[in-house]
Amino acid sequence: MNPLLPLSGGVVLNSVAQISLRYGASRDPKGGTVSRSFWIGLWAICFALATLLWLIALRNTAISYAYPLLGAGYILVTLLAKWLLREKISALRWLSIVVITAGVLMVGANQ
């Protein structure tokens, strides 16, 4: 199996987990206080599945290739934070994301 499949799946799930945790941990959870446990539960499930996918990806892949690719999580979390959480992303932060993206692509191209 192409390791990029479980790797990208894990990155997506982990990013969803982080956003869920942000929703669940906020003072006024999205969808009312009753939904707090829903978001925390979603975080736990996504986090566990992401860890499992990481183990699957790592099994037949060099760790010096797979581990840096997890940096893609910074890109996705930042985009989700902007779109879903309406966070303001400074120019310097966008620059950092561009740098990380370049690094992830460089590692990805050198399997």
Question: Which residues in this chain contact another protein in the complex, by CB under 8 A?
Answer: 51, 55, 58-60, 62-65, 67-68, 71, 74, 87-90, 92-93, 95-110
- What is the C-alpha to C-alpha distance for residues 16 and 46, in angstroms, rounded to an integer? 7
Write down the least CB distance from residue 82 to another protein, Å.
11
| Minimum CB–partner distance for residue 64 and another protein (Å) | 3
CA dist., res. 51 & res. 57, Å (int): 10
As measured in angstroms, the least distance from the Cβ of 52 to another protein is 11
CA-based nearest residue to 18, from 40, 49, 3? 40
Q: Which is nearer to another protein, 8 or 101 (CB)?
A: 101
Judged by beta carbon, residue 33 or residue 110, the one nearer another protein is 110
Q: How many CB atoms lie within 10 A of CB 61?
A: 19
- Retrieve residue 99's tokens: 């740098």
Q: Which is nearer to another protein, 38 or 47 (CB)?
A: 47
Which phi and psi (to 5°) does residue 71 adopt?
-60, -20
What's the closest the beta carbon of residue 39 comes to another protein, in angstroms? Answer: 19
